[in-house]
């Protein structure tokens, strides 16, 4: 199963990310078995995340996962949206790796599962 993990991490969390990555590396090194493959998309703030993953783009991803590979025109029809706007949204999602194009120029979501991981801590934490 191919999985994407969407996370928000502030600069202060960078050391924790490095430590987690090192821990995964050591685990794989010791066992000789690769961990399940995940693509991690990290955003620096909720504002950045929501500028990329708007409600309409999230709906587009959901519909595309249901449809499977589709032309942009077919996807626009399924979403009942303007082709130009769907094309713009697909372009952004391709840039971020959440949507890909196949050899026939059909677009598709390359992940079986997309997980969102957000942590909100109080100032005293």
> In the chain, pLDDT over 90 holds for what percent of residues?
50
Residue 16 clears pLDDT 60, i.e. is over it: yes
Residue 113 lies in a domain: yes
Q: What is the pLDDT of residue 26?
A: 76
Q: What is the pLDDT of residues 89-118, one digit of tens each?
A: 999 999 999 999 999 999 999 999 998 877
Q: Which of 54, 51, 39, 55 is nearest to 7 (CA)?
A: 39
Q: What is the pLDDT of residues 55-74, one digit of tens each?
A: 999 999 999 999 999 999 99
Residue 123 lies in a domain: no
Q: Which residue range(s) make up the domain with 56? A: 3-117
Residue 125 lies in a domain: no
CATH number of the domain to which 63 belongs: 1.10.10.10
Q: What is the pLDDT of residue 105?
A: 93
9-to-46, 68, 77, 115, 118 alpha-carbon distances in Å? 9, 31, 36, 15, 8
């Amino acid at each position: 199963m191919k999985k994407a993990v969407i996370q928000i991490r502030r600069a202060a969390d960078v050391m924790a990310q490095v430590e987690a990555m090192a821990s995964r590396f050591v685990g794989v090194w010791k066992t000789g078995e690769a961990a399940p493959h995940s693509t991690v998309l990290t955003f620096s703030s909720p504002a950045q995340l929501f500028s990329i993953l708007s409600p309409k783009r999230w709906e587009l991803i959901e519909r595309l996962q249901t449809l499977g590979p589709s032309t942009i025109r077919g996807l626009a029809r399924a979403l009942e949206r303007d082709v130009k706007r769907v094309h713009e949204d697909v372009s952004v999602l391709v840039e971020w790796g959440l949507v890909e194009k196949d050899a026939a120029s059909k677009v598709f979501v390359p992940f079986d599962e997309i997980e969102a991981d957000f942590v909100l801590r109080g100032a005293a934490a």
